[in-house]
Structure 1
Amino acid sequence: MSLAPRAVLVHRTTEYEELLARHGTHGQAAFFLSSRGRSIDAIARRHARARRTLREVAAAVPLTWRRSRVERADLDRFLFAPEDVVVVIGQDGLVANAAKYLSGQPVVGIDTDPGRNPGVLVRHRGADAAALLRAATAGGGRTEELTMVEAVADDTQRLLALNEIYLGAPGHRTARYRLRADDDRAEEAQASSGVLVGTGTGATGWLRSLWLERGSAVPLPAPCDPRLLWFVREAWPSPATGTSRVAGELGAGQGLRLTVESDRIVVFGDGMESDALELTWGQSVRLAVAANTLRLLA
């Protein structure tokens, strides 16, 4: 007998809840903000909308289904199952935060604040949740397979990301390493602020910023393109380090390898610094298009 589907509702702590955790009460939080020329009213309204949408989606889960909730901070400790339908309730970035922990489960993005969020990944409203859940399990919903990027270290550590993976020294120090693409004959020693490898989904954010800054002639990938772009940030030329390999493109089967030449380099995806790989002298990591994709209901 097969298990009933499980709806996993992914959400995050609101700004209002963070204020209460810091200041204790609504009144104290309101006083703190007013003393700095700000009002708590808009923050409280956004909190109310987010919690109302969460309740609306929870009520739409069929009675025969199992259900669970997970907060953003607990994603790295939550065990997703193959039969899950993942409903992300919040901002676009929350979909990216959840994506690295999934392996093919359908994902529904619910926007809690239409007009404030871009809605690139959270494309639906809470009122649509019942129909979307049915479509996710009945096969009637159209899905997009969004390309992801992976980092695989020489000690088998592996990291996935939907938008981008960043490699650099902690604490904003200079990262020192050797860099080589698969089709390069030689590697180059570099000292820089780090390396960013991004997908088409990430092309609306950090990757696009670097692409514009460099005036790159390489077209940005679309979210479903099996193609990545990479940029070295602020490479420093010196007698021992070069700047000839600071940008490139990776297609399916191609990779970019970085070998550490400093005490510590961290590798993290989609801004989740709390769940990073740590590499040290002599270790290497390869960046490439991931075999995993994110199945997002369109």
Structure 2
Amino acid sequence: MTLAPRAVLVHRRTEYEELLARHGTHGQAAFFLSSRGRPIDEVVRRHERTRQALRDVAAAVPLTWRSCQVERADLDRFLFAPEDVVVVVGQDGLVANTAKYLAGQPVVGIDTDPGRNPGVLVRHRCADTAALLRSATAPGDRTEELTMVEAVADDTQRLLALNEIYLGPAGHQTTRYRLGLDGETDPGEPQASSGVLVGTGTGATGWLRSLWLERGGAAPLPGPCDPRLVWFVREAWPSPATGTSRVGGELGRGQALRLTVESDRIVVFGDGMEADALDLTWGQSVRLGIASTALRLVT
């Protein structure tokens, strides 16, 4: 017996809910903001729009389907199934936060605040949900496959990201490591820097782009579906023991960057989610390249 599809609605706490969690009541939250010259009204309106959008999307799920909801903070404990259709209700960044936990399930991005969000990954409106769900399960592929980046440590730990993976000190100071291309016979260049960033075309509109512009923007950045990654070393420090000859480049399919830790600790996290990071210690190595998994974004 074939299971009916399951719609998994992914959302995150609103600014208003964060304020209530911190201050306890609406009145205390309003006082906190007003004492700093900021009204709470707009925060409440955005909260109401988001909650209404979530209700509208839930109502659009076909009656023959199963459905559930998961909050962003619980994604690392949620078990996605092969028959799931993932509906991200929120901002572009929430799609990236979700992508690392998927294994090819189709993703629908619903923008809860059109005009405020860029809409790069949350491209659709609540009213489109029913048609998009039908499209996601109909014969024929109606998705874009967005390239993802992966980090695989020598102890088999693995991390996926849609935008970029950062490797560096937990406190963003300076760390020591060796950097080279995987497969080379030499051990790599010893470096001291504030970290290394490896990312995709989807991430090329954010953190990666700022580093690319800083370096002069000579080579073109990849597009979201391009099988190509770019990488940059942040603030490499030249010294008698460390070099700066390898501070940026590209990686195609089958190529990988290799980093060997020469500090007490390096953290590796994707898409800004530091709470879900790999911890590497002195002597460990990690390989970074194009992931075998892609984000299937329903168009």
* Same fold, TM-score > 0.5, yes or no: yes
1:233 aligns with 2:252: no
Q: Partner residue of 1:115?
A: 115
Q: Which has the larger displacement, 82-91 or 136-145?
A: 136-145
Partner of 2:260: 259
Match of 2:276 in 1: 275
Q: Which runs of 5+ in 1 are unaligned?
A: none
Structure-2 separation of matches of 1:103 and 1:182? 25
Gaps of 5+ in 2: none
Figure out how many residues of one structure are paired with residues of the other and give that number.
298
Letter in 2 for 1:50: T
Question: How much has 1:25 moved relative to structure 2?
Answer: 1.2
Identity fraction in percent: 83
**Partner of residue 91, structure 1:** 91
Per-residue CA distance 1:12-60 (angstroms, 9 max, x = gap)? 0000000011111111111110100111111111100000000000000
TM-score (norm 2): 0.98
C-alpha displacement of 1:140: 5.8
1:122-162 deviation per Cα after TM superposition (whole angstroms, max 9, x unaligned): 00001110111111111366210000000000000000000
Aligned to 2:3: 3
1:166 positional shift = 0.2
Preserved contact between residue 159 and residue 269 of structure 2 (Cα < 8 Å): yes
Q: Give CA deviations for 1:222-242 in whole Å, capped at 9, x if unaligned.
A: 000000000000000111000
Runs of 4+ in structure 1 over 6 Å off: none
Contact 2:228 2:251 in 1 (8 A): yes
Look up the equivalent residue of 1:227 and give its one-letter code. Answer: R
Secondary structure at 1:236 match in 2: coil
Distance 2:245 2:217 in 1: 15
Say which SS state the counterpart of residue 172 (structure 1) adopts: coil
Distance 1:52 1:17 in 2: 14
* Distance in 2 separating the partners of 1:219 and 1:170: 30
- Over residues 148-205 of structure 1, what are the superposed CA-to-partner deviations in whole Å (9 max), with x where a residue is unaligned? 0000000000000000000001112311100001375631000000000010000111
1: CA distance, partners of 2:30 / 2:289: 47
| CA gap 1:249/1:260 in 2 versus in 1, 3 angstroms | same
Counterpart code for 1:266: V
- Cα distance in structure 1, aligned partners of 2:212 and 2:185: 25
| Matching of residue 198 in structure 1 with residue 188 in structure 2 | no
* Alignment check: 8 A CA contact 2:172 2:195 kept: no
Which AA in structure 2 matches 1:212? L
With the length of structure 1 as denominator, give the TM-score of the two structures.
Answer: 0.98
Root mean square deviation of aligned Cα = 1.0
Alpha-carbon distance in 2 for matches of 1:135, 1:154? 40
Task: Write the distance in 1 (CA, Å) between the matches of 2:139 and 2:90.
Answer: 24
The amino acid of 2:75's aligned partner reads L
Which residue does 2:29 correspond to in 1? 29
> Hey, what's the Cα distance between the residues in 1 that align with 2:44 and 2:134?
32
Q: Is the 8 A contact 1:132 1:141 kept in 2?
A: no
1:218 partnered with 2:215 = no
Q: Tell me the alpha carbon deviations over residues 269-292 of structure 1, each in whole angstroms, 9 at most, x when there is no partner.
A: 001111111100100000000010
User: Kindly tell me: are residues 6 and 268 of structure 1, through their superposed partners in 2, closer, same or farther at Cα, counting changes over 3 Å?
Assistant: same
Per-residue CA deviation, residues 51-93 of structure 1 (Å, 9 max, x unaligned), is 0000000000111111111100000000000000000000000
Distance 2:98 2:54 in 1: 17
Give the letter for the 2:77 counterpart. R
SS at match of 1:114: coil
Find the aligned partners of 2:140 and 2:184 in 1 and give their Cα distance. 45
1:217 CA drift (Å): 1.3
Q: Distance in 2 between matches of 1:229 and 1:36?
A: 42
Q: Counterparts of 2:204 and 2:111 in 1: how far apart (Å)?
A: 20
| Secondary structure, aligned partner of 1:170 | coil
